[in-house]
Structure 1
Amino acid sequence: MGRTSAVTLTIKRRFAASSEQVFDAWLDSNIMKKWLFTTEITNKVTQSDPRVGGSWEVVDHRQGKDYRAIGEYINIRRPNTLAFTFAMPQFSDTKDLIKVNIAATGQGSEMTFIQDMVVLHEEDWTAGDIEKAEREYITSSEQGWSLMFDGLQQLLETGEVNNP
């Protein structure tokens, strides 16, 4: 692996659902397949072994291609704390760290999602190129996660996800 830098994405989201429901949506493969990196329509594989050291995997099939996301659980403290690695081996051999903290609120719960991302650098990049790549990682990741969290919110609050 070449040179890298690190950036952190933080997203907060409120749900009209209990901390336990939000927490379980991250670990229960039957729930994960409806919102995490995929939809029930495009989902090929969703597996979860929700224990420290256990692994998870999601394979989404779109436009004739499989997109595989994998990781390992590092910390699981129901219903408030979850940490796991995140990798997409078809794109790079880097691993991000994702931390999910969930707190009960009067109307449900608030989730704080933190992704520590590894940004790969091209050999001849300038400082400006690196800054641009880091901004793009943050922007594209935030867009992707926000769409997934919209689906999670629909699922938790209505029982289904209205896929586009």
Structure 2
Amino acid sequence: MKATDYKLQISKFIKAKREKVFEAWVQPELMKKWGCPKELTIGEIELDFRVGGKYRTTMLRDEETYIACGEYKEIIMNEKLVFSHGWEGPDREDTLVTVIFSDKGEGTEVLLTHEKLSSDSSMEGHKEGWISTLENLELQFL
């Protein structure tokens, strides 16, 4: 399979208004509370929230540091975010993440698609990470 063949999609219902859920993705002080898998903690977050702007998130576990970075490709306020995603370092793989925010009942459906992954193991690892991260997001609104 080519890198473009590996894609994952996850959906999560968050019991909060769409505008509040969207805001949690774009405000560094809010992202620090949830923006990584449960086994990690956020170190620093840098966001230049505009199309063409870059972001950089440092995640920590024991003595290890992971840095996710990328660029915002499309922003539709309170509806959609599209950004490149890669792990800082020599083996960086640029992938693409699309997040759609939709009203659903008394909350928001978050549909996350992560594509252009290089392998099945990369796809599975990112899937586990995103599921855990979205569970952290849900906890912010309980």
Same fold flag (TM > 0.5): yes
Q: Equivalent residue of 1:145, what SS?
A: helix
The one-letter amino acid paired with 2:3 is S
Identical columns (%) = 25
Larger RCO, structures 1/2 (Cα 8 Å, 6+ apart): 2
The one-letter amino acid paired with 1:101 is I
Match of residue 149, structure 1, among 120, 134, 141? 134
Unaligned runs of 5+ in 2: none
Counterpart CA distance in 1 for 2:48 and 2:63 is 28
Q: Equivalent residue of 2:33, what SS?
A: helix
Which has the larger share of strand? 2
Counterpart CA distance in 1 for 2:127 and 2:90 is 18
Counterpart CA distance in 2 for 1:51 and 1:28 is 12
Q: Specify whether residues 141 and 38 from structure 1 end up closer, same or farther in structure 2 by C-alpha distance, changes over 3 A only.
A: closer
TM-score under structure 2 length normalisation: 0.89
Partner of 1:23: 22
The one-letter amino acid paired with 1:53 is G
Partner of 1:86: 85
Unaligned runs of 5+ in 1: 120-132, 159-164
Deviation at 1:35, TM superposition (A): 1.4
State how many pairs are aligned.
140
The one-letter amino acid paired with 2:69 is I
Partner of 1:126: none
**Structure with max Cα Rg:** 1
Q: Equivalent residue of 1:93, what SS?
A: coil
Deviation at 1:4, TM superposition (A): 4.9
TM-score under structure 1 length normalisation: 0.78
**Runs of 4 or more off by more than 3 Å in structure 1?**
none
